[in-house]
Chains A and B, each alone.
Chain A
């Protein structure tokens, strides 16, 4: 009205044009739906276009996160129903290092994995050491039982590919994330428990191939548990 003059009726697109546009829009929308939206949102990829564009991976990650979140909520619920905080997933007492001899294409030959990956701190003796291999998309969580103010020192290193991590803790209704990282090959430092509970690391492999992570811990804590 105040931008431009009113057009005459003849200047407007004809009904035929509009109907054609509508049909074109519907066809384009269907094509986008199948090749872009469904792969990116639900990892449903009937044409394979989503895989080609890298969007199916997005859908897979979203589905995975949603599943894990649902599991997490279910666990939290059952935990609060039981009252006591019992680790739901089978606990693994980890002093026995699971030496995974599977894919040893790089230098390492089965046996002295620890020596090979030793952090250059000859005087440091670690209380716990775990080694695990993560396939693409796989995640793992290790936690320490700590009371408020406890300090644990740690060092971890990922071989054959960088890794995503979240150093965090929970317990007694509290939750905290100390540090998050994406595509990090190694990290070390001290973890000071902000409150009494379980504190530790979540690792996820977002590479296309397996990675092996060695995690070493020392300091004040009761025990090391594998949570997931």
Chain B
């Protein structure tokens, strides 16, 4: 059973950030994302749209949640790290569920109780989660400290941080209080759908790669990939911290 019928080239406009692989992420980071424009103080794009609507808009928010996840390279990178050495579908399901549980909890609580964390700071922590997982995959903790930290706990805990990242973004969207809870739940459903789509794409690419002789016989290529991922994580941290101190 290979449950990834969906995913792949879920393409989005050029302004949006898209990627499933570290190298593309690096390029995207360099390009950056465009900001809001001032039209009688009205934002454009997703934020502009959200600021125009009120009441329950389930399908719209499902779409926005899925888009956020699919185009959010930081979440995708962490997900890639988590499933890097998972081969069985039931293992993947457990870890991905833990991640989903983590980020859903803090996302909903964060928005509902309006817990705004500085978005640069939280995104830097998300970058750190990528670095952590890459080091974990490289076996650094066993080598350095002589023990293996619980991978499931780490997935859950970093899931909490990713959720605060999501909630911080949602608070910036200024969703109308009219219909907030249903819309928020719809956004969360969308995030999970987006995660499954991205996961499908990752699994297909990894599937081809894992079949190559090198991947199984020696860990060299896998190590290169994890170092590249760690590099992307460090760049995310630097990018966000620079934002924190200059904005």
Instruction: Give residues in A with beta carbon < 8 Å to B.
Output: 1-4, 6-7, 9, 11-13, 15, 17-18, 21-22, 24-26, 28-29, 32-33, 36-37, 40-42, 53-55, 57-58, 61-62, 65-66, 68-69, 71-73, 141, 164, 166, 168, 175, 177, 180, 182-183, 202, 204, 206
Question: Contact partner of A183 among B41, B86, B178, CB < 8 A?
Answer: B178
Minimal Cβ-Cβ distance residue in B for A59: B49
Answer yes or no: B153 CB below 8 A from chain A CBs.
Answer: no
B60 x A54 contact (CB < 8 A): yes
Question: Contact partner of A37 among B10, B57, B137, B211, CB < 8 A?
Answer: B10
Q: Knowing A21-B4, A25-B201, A29-B7 touch, does A54 contact B139 (C-beta < 8 A)? A: no
Neighbouring B residues of A6 by C-beta, 8 Å: 87, 216
Neighbouring A residues of B116 by C-beta, 8 Å: none
Per the bound structure, the CA–CA distance linking A206 and B42 in Å amounts to: 15
A28 x B207 contact (CB < 8 A): no
Most B C-beta atoms less than 10 A away, residue of A53, A69, A71, A202: A69
Answer yes or no: B172 CB below 8 A from chain A CBs.
Answer: no
Q: Shortest distance in angstroms between A88's beta carbon and chain B's nearest beta carbon?
A: 13
Q: Knowing A1-B219, A18-B204 touch, does A28 contact B11 (C-beta < 8 A)? A: no
Neighbouring A residues of B148 by C-beta, 8 Å: 2
B60 x A65 contact (CB < 8 A): no
Answer yes or no: B52 CB below 8 A from chain A CBs.
Answer: yes
Q: List 6 A-B contacts (CB under 8 A).
A: A7-B88, A24-B5, A72-B39, A168-B40, A182-B178, A206-B52
A54 x B42 contact (CB < 8 A): no
Minimal Cβ-Cβ distance residue in B for A33: B11
Neighbouring B residues of A177 by C-beta, 8 Å: 41
B57 x A73 contact (CB < 8 A): no
Answer yes or no: B115 CB below 8 A from chain A CBs.
Answer: no
B142 x A21 contact (CB < 8 A): no
Q: Knowing A1-B222, A13-B2 touch, does A25 contact B204 (C-beta < 8 A)? A: yes
A2 x B139 contact (CB < 8 A): yes
Q: Knowing A1-B137, A3-B151, A166-B41 touch, does A29 contact B49 (C-beta < 8 A)? A: no
B207 x A21 contact (CB < 8 A): yes
Q: Shortest distance in angstroms between A194's beta carbon and chain B's nearest beta carbon?
A: 13
A182 x B42 contact (CB < 8 A): no
Question: Contact partner of A25 among B4, B42, B59, B63, CB < 8 A?
Answer: B4
Q: Knowing A3-B85, A6-B216, A182-B52 touch, does A22 contact B44 (C-beta < 8 A)? A: no
Minimal Cβ-Cβ distance residue in B for A2: B148
Q: Shortest distance in angstroms between B72's beta carbon and chain A's nearest beta carbon?
A: 16
Neighbouring B residues of A180 by C-beta, 8 Å: 51
A-contacting residues, B30-50, CB 8 Å = 37-46, 48-49
A28 x B6 contact (CB < 8 A): yes
Q: Shortest distance in angstroms between A190's beta carbon and chain B's nearest beta carbon?
A: 20
Per the bound structure, the CA–CA distance linking A61 and B137 in Å amounts to: 44
Q: Shortest distance in angstroms between A187's beta carbon and chain B's nearest beta carbon?
A: 15
A12 x B52 contact (CB < 8 A): no
